[in-house]
Amino acid sequence: MAFECICRKILIFMCLLTVSIHAFELGTERTFSFVNDVNLYELKLSTSQAIGYRTSGEIKVSTIYEDNEHGFLLRFELLSPQLYMEKFKVQPMDYDEKSSILDKYKKSIFYAYWKAGIIEKSFIKNTKDSSLNNFLRSILSLFQYQLLDTKTTEKDISGTCQVKYVAKSSTKFLKIKSDCTAIEQHERLDQPLGNEVKLTRVTVIETSTLGEIETLHSSDHHQFYINAYKHVGYKVGSIFYLKSDGTIKDCEVIKADNLENAIKTLEGFIETSILPEINFDKSTDVTIVKQLKELKENLSNEKVGKETSALALLKLLQTGRQSKAEDLIRIVNARTTKEIKGQIMDLLAAIQTEESHEAFRSTMNFTNEEEFDNIERYLQSLSVGVLPRESVIKNIFEVLINDNIQNEKLKDTLVQTIASMCKKFTNLPNQSYDSEIVVKFKNFLLESIDSCTNNDCKEIYIRGLQNLQSPNIIDKLVMLALNEPYQISVAAMKALNQFPSTILQGDKKQFESIFYQQKKKFDTSARTIALDILLRLKPETKDIMNFVSYLKSNDPAYEVKQYLVQKLKMLAEKCERFKEILQMVLSSDRKVYNWNNFGALKGLSTALTRKFSQNPSFNGSLISVQEIKGGVLKRGNVDLLLEHEEEKFGIFTLGLFAGGLSSFVSSDEEEVDPDEDTTATAGMELAVQGNYLRPLVFFSGQAQLMGHVWSGTASEPTSAYQGITMLQDHKQVFALNNGAILDFSSLGAMSMDLNGKIEISLWYKNANIEVVQNMGLALLSTLSVKSPLISSKIELSITQEPQINLASKVDFSSKTAICMQLTQPNINLTQKINRYVDIPESKKVKALRQEVNLKYKIPGYTHVLNQKNNDMCNAITSE
Ligand SMILES: *[C@@H]1O[C@H](CO)[C@@H](O)[C@H](O)[C@H]1NC(C)=O
Ligand SMILES: *[C@@H]1O[C@H](CO)[C@@H](O)[C@H](O)[C@H]1NC(C)=O
Ligand SMILES: *[C@@H]1O[C@H](CO)[C@@H](O)[C@H](O)[C@H]1NC(C)=O
Ligand SMILES: *[C@@H]1O[C@H](CO)[C@@H](O)[C@H](O)[C@H]1NC(C)=O
Ligand SMILES: *[C@@H]1O[C@H](CO)[C@@H](O)[C@H](O)[C@H]1NC(C)=O
């Protein structure tokens, strides 16, 4: 067996030597026929509905020169190309017609210098038609092959690829290409908002015993899946089949004393790369100015929070990314966009080019107070984008340092935007947390914290660290959490909680020291956040035993204990293994707790997780965590998470905080901590796609509290956040094995309008809080394949308007009760699929236009929160 194997290898090796000599003997001419079948379809539609077409023809290859290194100059000529459609039965193109495309093809002569299986040089007519040139390059690429088991790097029409050759027999060889460079590619790394792309490129080459090509079967099979929607994706196949007709004729040769002189005789031909090229023809594109006229209505203020505005933004974005600053300036300055300035700011931010930033800078003035809302809207939307430009980060950083910004809110927002952008910047190719601009900004944050003279000032820069998430600042944050006053300690813990658990593992002891207050006292929020982190660090059985014995301790902070119980129960609900361990620990301690009375403790804090979206939409869950102190909310978060397999991505976080209110509300006897700040304060903290925004403070100080909220002025719903931000942002452009350019893009946007109202009555001793989160979601994805003869495209969109309503009734008349209700109304999810086929230069053939509409009804929910909440709701409503 082994002997046979070695023999085969030797045989193959000999073959290779003969290939270089005999495959293209000087003065010979060979003819190959070819067929190329292309199919593309959207997953939802069956293969029988694929857009399919075939091109066929002949290629004549003549060996016109041989140099003294056994390199050959080959002349290629393309003959009688044909195009067929509709399962290849119909031949729509009338090739007797004197159309321009026919002439173009008939004259398709091109040359290559071929040596030992590699196309070292190629020569084409100086035509500007990149589409035709790519087709010619694809033919040259077929003739690039090795007859050996080997791994190498090759350039061809697919890009620069890793290529593996496998000899199946002495005349049959496999060529497998992988990791090819794309013409253009960018993607979002957050997996739930990403795509799965599987590219397969395999060629089977069969040769004569002399190593001449007999048949060649090149097949590209590519699959594209959009992670958020299980049923959405595309498949594309292109099979290129080449067959020799077996005859060898004589041909004319070039007489020249070296290769250089031989090449000189090819008049009118220029040397070109075999890699694919594309030159964008923007002449026919609509301008953004014109497009905005059509979509203006769909971006009106009433449409924020609706799917139409999300979809309109995506449509404008595609044009916007190709637009010049002057056009973008025109749309900002247009009188007709005055009413929708906020949405225009979202658009500029989503475009994320240097041109769009220039449009912003030359129309907006940071010191103009009247424009503050719009400026902040731009900055907040900018922090979400996944393609931050270094020049834009630098520019905003300069504004922050040099422009002497007086407005504290603007300063805060600038810090948060730069931090978020720097974080995204580290994900770009060749960038990291060691990149110059990122290090510079990190140092700026650290210096600013040290030079602040008050805690509110420090908090701004600590939030900057929270958004930046540089692993180099963990130690600093831990120090702040351990040693600084409550306000700073809590801010540092919030920042730490943003980091992935792998990075926090090393500081487990410190978090235990905070939660158990081993060395000193901590704010209850610092403790509950430390607990959140400890529970993320995969607690072991002994950790769980420690938690349970803490519950029996004499710590008077019963809300912290309740919070712990709630979190343990939440984890047990989600994870069977955790539940087993917890039950085991509890049962070893039967006298104090068992599973059934676990949680029957004093305290109103809650923690729970519920599904808020599932098939046919994305998988999404909602996590609500409410830390209560003295009968009032101290720290509450509702997180919306998008899930894909094990990965989670927070698309929105609604946080509420309050402090110093207990004295107004409760007769509660919970221990008063003398270190705690008793200033009455309340506000909202929002994070859009993981980027924490400047907090919105409802009131700070007793005077504001009494004057503003308690008089009932906040009883009208007011908008807390409006904005349209990008979700999916993926583009990938490369050439198929036939030179056609495949362009896959998937863009998503979320249009959000969050509004709320608070009514507090001192007389009835109750409060009503309502928060309505309107979301319009849109996904716009296209897959197009363009070749010189035919261009095809599938475009699909998915739209929906999920809404979440949070209502909370608080009764603090006698014994405090809080009833929370979380509801989602019925919604429709709409999927539209459009299919287009165009035959660019023929007027005779009717192009295909097809639309498929699908609608899914998604029923609403009233989430069952927990038993304690139900009891309290019943208590409140029955009164
Ligand atoms: C959602 O979760 C279900 C159950 O785990 C899974 O079968 C499905 O593939 C998921 N859908 C998406 C879009 O990830
Ligand atoms: C604007 O939105 C409406 C639906 O609200 C839609 O019918 C219309 O096609 C949209 N306009 C454009 C130009 O997309
Ligand atoms: C910005 O506005 C301020 C006051 O509104 C004005 O003093 C300043 O000159 C303006 N700057 C620019 C660059 O337009
Ligand atoms: C990354 O760096 C390498 C080496 O410094 C360079 O060759 C390559 O072009 C860079 N890539 C990008 C995308 O900047
Ligand atoms: C969903 O679509 C149906 C018609 O197909 C319509 O009657 C219903 O009002 C829609 N629901 C929502 C919430 O838009």
- Of the listed ranges 192-196, 562-566, 598-602, 770-774, the one predicted with least confidence: 598-602
Q: From ligand 1's centre to the CA of 640, what distance in Å?
A: 16
What is the spatial distance between Cα 783 and Cα 266, in angstroms, rounded to a whole number? 39
Pocket probe for ligand 4: among 160, 430, 431, the residue whose CB has the most ligand atoms within 8 Å is: 430
Read off the pLDDT band of 2 (50, 70, 90): very low
pLDDT at residue number 764: 72
Looking at the CA of residue 303, tell me the nearest atom of ligand 2: 5
For the chain, the distance separating the N- and C-terminal CA atoms, rounded to the nearest angstrom, is: 90
- Our mutation pick for probing the ligand 3 site, out of 333, 362, 365, counting the most ligand atoms within 8 A of Cβ, is 365
Q: 615 pLDDT band (50/70/90 cuts)?
A: confident
pLDDT band at 700 (very low <50, low <70, confident <90, very high): confident
CA distance 694 to 379: 11
Q: How far is CA 392 from CA 7, 288, 389, in A?
A: 63, 22, 5
The greatest distance separating any two alpha carbons of the chain, rounded to the nearest whole angstrom, comes to: 107
The residue assigned the tokens 């658990």 is: 501
Nearest atom within ligand 2 for CA of residue 297: 1
Average pLDDT over residues 265-270: 89
Pseudo-torsion of CA 257, 260, 261, 262, nearest 10°?
90
pLDDT digits (tens, 9 = 90+) for 146-168: 988 999 999 999 999 999 999 99
- List residues near ligand 3 (CB under 6 A): 365, 367-368
Taking 80 as the threshold, does the pLDDT of residue 663 lie above it? no
Report the pLDDT averaged over residues 781-796: 90
Q: Find the mean pLDDT for residues 713-720.
A: 70
At 358-376, the pLDDT tens digits run 999 999 999 889 999 999 9
DSSP characters over 356-417: HHHHHHTT--TT-GGGHHHHHHHHHHHTT-S---HHHHHHHHHHHHHS----HHHHHHHHHH
Question: Could you report the per-residue pLDDT of 395-451, keeping only the tens digit for each?
Answer: 999 999 988 888 999 999 999 999 999 999 999 989 999 999 999 999 999 999 999
Answer for the pair 773, 804: CB distance below 8 angstroms, yes or no. yes
Q: Does residue 800 register a pLDDT over 50?
A: yes
Look-up: residue for tokens 């630098």? Answer: 394
How far apart are alpha carbons 307 and 302 in whole angstroms?
11
What's the gap in Å between 435 CA and the centre of ligand 4? 13
Burial of 506 (0-12, 13-18, 19+ CB in 10 A): exposed
Task: Tell me: pLDDT of 186 over 70.
Answer: yes
Least confident of 24-38, 505-519, 544-558, 707-721: 707-721
Structure tokens at 602: 């004093």
pLDDT band at 602 (very low <50, low <70, confident <90, very high): confident
* Tens-digit pLDDT profile for residues 334-357: 999 999 999 999 999 999 999 999
Q: How far is the CA of 311 from the centre of ligand 2 (A)?
A: 9
Residue 438 near residue 470, CB atoms below 8 Å: yes
Say if ligand 5 is within 6 A of residue 860 CB.
Answer: no
Measured in Å, residue 86 CA sits from the centre of ligand 2 at: 32
pLDDT value, residue 603: 82
Please tell me the number of the ligand nearest to residue 432's CA: 4
More confident of the two residues 24 and 144: 144
Give the mean model confidence (pLDDT) for residues 374-385: 96
In this prediction, residues 579-596 reach a mean pLDDT of 77
Instruction: Calculate what percentage of the chain has a pLDDT beyond 70.
Output: 88
| Ligand nearest the Cα atom of residue 307 | 2
Residue 781 neighbours by CB under 8 Å, 6+ apart? 226, 232, 728, 744, 745, 746, 747, 795, 796, 797
- Ligand 1 proximity of 110 Cβ (cutoff 6 Å): no
- The pTM assigned to this predicted structure is 0.90
Local structure of residue 575 (DSSP, 8 states): -
Peptide bond preceding 616 in cis form (omega within 30 of 0): yes
**In angstroms, what is the span from residue 724 Cα to ligand 5's centroid?**
24
Taking Cα atoms as reference points, which of 90, 93, 84 lies closest to residue 54?
84
Mean pLDDT of 314-341: 93
Give the whole-number percent of the chain exceeding pLDDT 90.
60
pLDDT band at residue 281 under the 50/70/90 scheme: low
Q: What is the CB neighbour count within 10 angstroms for residue 564?
A: 25
Residue 204 has φ and ψ, to the nearest 5°, of -110, 125
Tell me the mean pLDDT in the region 288-312. 95
CA-based angle 198:202:208, to the nearest 5? 180
Extract the tokens encoding 56: 């066929």
Give the residue with greater pLDDT, 99 vs 611. 611
Pocket mutation for ligand 3, best pick of 358, 364, 368 (most atoms within 8 Å of C-beta): 368
**What are 173-185's pLDDT values in tens digits?**
999 999 999 999 9
Given pLDDT bands bounded at 50, 70 and 90, which one contains residue 14? very low
Per-residue pLDDT at 631 exceeds 90: no
Ordered strands of the 28-42 beta sheet: 150-156, 159-167, 172-178, 195-207, 213-226, 233-250, 28-42, 51-66, 71-85, 109-115, 118-125, 269-272
Helix (H, G, I), strand (E, B) or coil at 762: coil
CA of 415 from ligand 3 middle (Å) equals 22
Give the ligand with the smallest distance to the CA of 430.
4
- Between the CA of 160 and the centroid of ligand 4 the distance, in Å, is 15
Instruction: Name the residue of 230, 642, 649 whose CB sits within 8 Å of the most ligand 1 atoms, as the mutation to test its pocket.
Output: 230
